[in-house]
Amino acid sequence: VLQSSNSLKASYEDWLLTYGLSVSPFHMRWQTALFNRQFYNWGRWKPRFLYLWFSVGMVFGIVAMFGSVILLGKTLMQTLTQMLTEAPKAQNDRMLQVVVSVLFSGRYLRVPGVNLPVSQLTYFFSAILISGVIHEVGHGVAAIREQVRFNGFGIFIFIVYPGAFVDLFTTHLQLISPVQQLRIFCAGVWHNFVLGAASFIVLFLLPAILFPFYYTGVGALVTEVAEDSPANGPRGLFVGDLVTNLQDCPVYSVEDWNSCLGDISEKSQVGYCISAATLQQLSFPARVYRRLDGTVECCSNNSLTDICFSYSNNLDSHLYACLPARKVIEASKVCRTNTDCQKDFVPSLCVTPSLENQTRLIRVKHPPHIDMLYVGHPMHLQYTVSLSSFVPRQNFLSIDLPVVIETFCKYLISLSGALAVINAVPCFALDGQWILNSFLEATLSSLIVEKQNRELVGFLILLAGSALLAANVALGLWMVTAR
């Protein structure tokens, strides 16, 4: 609108030029020379160290170029196999997988508003921006180290995704040797790899780093309970509760919580030991009927405290009793068969909740509070309750800080690692294009004398790499939308 106005067009374009802004459909960028002095200081700091640093980065970039092709090819074959052998279905939404899967596997592709939670958007976009800035800092410092003129640094937003760029003097870049060019072109993916590795180290050492303020290994601390969570309620879980057990499965960390819920979901429902006298005292006559899935119900649908239990004795192997759940479970030990309950010559039986398929009765211990009894699918409990392995040593310390650091490190590992892999792909408009061209010039100049023939070889490789990348993107998006 402003550019179409005769009176405003000139002043609008002058304003954009003054502030280094560029605006076009779905794209906005800002470039400045404010940081040039800082970049030149970095590029001239310890020349020998920087030479070794970017030489190692050059080797890494070349290896990453070949490795990314293998990884993308493997991912494409896995996606095609999955499409041909199974129908789209819900998958466990884990954050960290093989880095390339974060961008291109249908199971793990992160699309804001589709399969990326709104609460995670800040981590997502911050990690992308930081990864992009570190990537371009690598290019800029390497270019100054190789005596290439540095014109400026900038950031951009493409649709909703942020990024960064550096402006180098193209003529200087073309005059230096292919090996020098490789150091510059590989510096971006090298810095992304280093950022991901540093984030992994911080994540691994986080318990030691936070040890003066937080301790671990005592349970899983509840940091948030969703409003629609089945764990809500007067006898449910609250922020600040420390979960120590799920059934007979001890919980020392969030990983234990997830592992225990996974085991409970995969295995059959456990039972609880109860003496024959108590069973006779608590049970009352009830009508028994079968549900559509074949399981048996013997309690009224209106009951919020009673559950139908099945048990067996020497005479009949299929008996049912409607019992008050909390009285049966409290102070009872977990069992699988009647033999697990034989002790002190007291006749005892193993009673098992008769629930619908995939539904479980889970006893959640969070002392000093009374145990929570949860009836439902274990994964619903996992998705609606957020926990942390870090327990504050003082009440004034935030219970969310370790979670924020941990989550942000995971995003940096995933996205920075993914950028390192994807930018190394020999594909048009990516770093891999320039890495490949410089690599061919450095290695094939004696074998293929004609420059035109070397460029043809490079073009064919770039064409194949671009097709491989496009196929992964297309199938990844299809897998996400299909789910």
Q: 168-219 pLDDT, tens per residue?
A: 999 999 999 999 999 999 999 999 999 999 999 999 999 999 999 999 999 9
In a domain, 118, yes or no: yes
Mean pLDDT of the chain: 88
Active site residues: 136
Tell me, yes or no, whether 313 and 373 share the same domain.
no
In a domain, 91, yes or no: no
What are 99-118's pLDDT values in tens digits? 334 444 333 445 454 456 77
CA distance 408 to 418: 15
Tell me, yes or no, whether 113 and 201 share the same domain.
yes
CA distance 99 to 74: 13
Res 348: pLDDT: 87
Range of the domain at 329: 270-354
Tell me, yes or no, whether 242 and 191 share the same domain.
no
Tell me, yes or no, whether 145 and 185 share the same domain.
yes
Tell me, yes or no, whether 71 and 146 share the same domain.
yes
Percent of the chain with pLDDT over 70: 91
pLDDT of 76 higher than 60? yes
Tell me, yes or no, whether 246 and 305 share the same domain.
no
Bigger pLDDT: 438 vs 333: 438
Tell me, yes or no, whether 175 and 223 share the same domain.
no
pLDDT of 285 higher than 80? no
pLDDT of 91 higher than 70? no
For the entire predicted model, the pTM comes to 0.83
Tell me, yes or no, whether 263 and 274 share the same domain.
no
Sheet architecture: strand order including 306-311:
319-324, 306-311, 348-353, 271-275, 334-335
Cα dist from 373 to 37, 234, 324, whole Å: 63, 12, 12
Tell me, yes or no, whether 286 and 301 share the same domain.
yes
What are 349-365's pLDDT values in tens digits? 899 999 988 899 999 99
In a domain, 442, yes or no: yes
In a domain, 290, yes or no: yes
In a domain, 456, yes or no: yes
In a domain, 4, yes or no: no
Tell me, yes or no, whether 337 and 435 share the same domain.
no
In a domain, 399, yes or no: no
Res 342: pLDDT: 80
Q: Count of domains in the chain?
A: 3
Tell me, yes or no, whether 104 and 171 share the same domain.
yes
Cα dist from 107 to 75, 85, 94, 158, 354, whole Å: 11, 15, 9, 24, 34
Tell me, yes or no, whether 327 and 454 share the same domain.
no
In a domain, 261, yes or no: yes
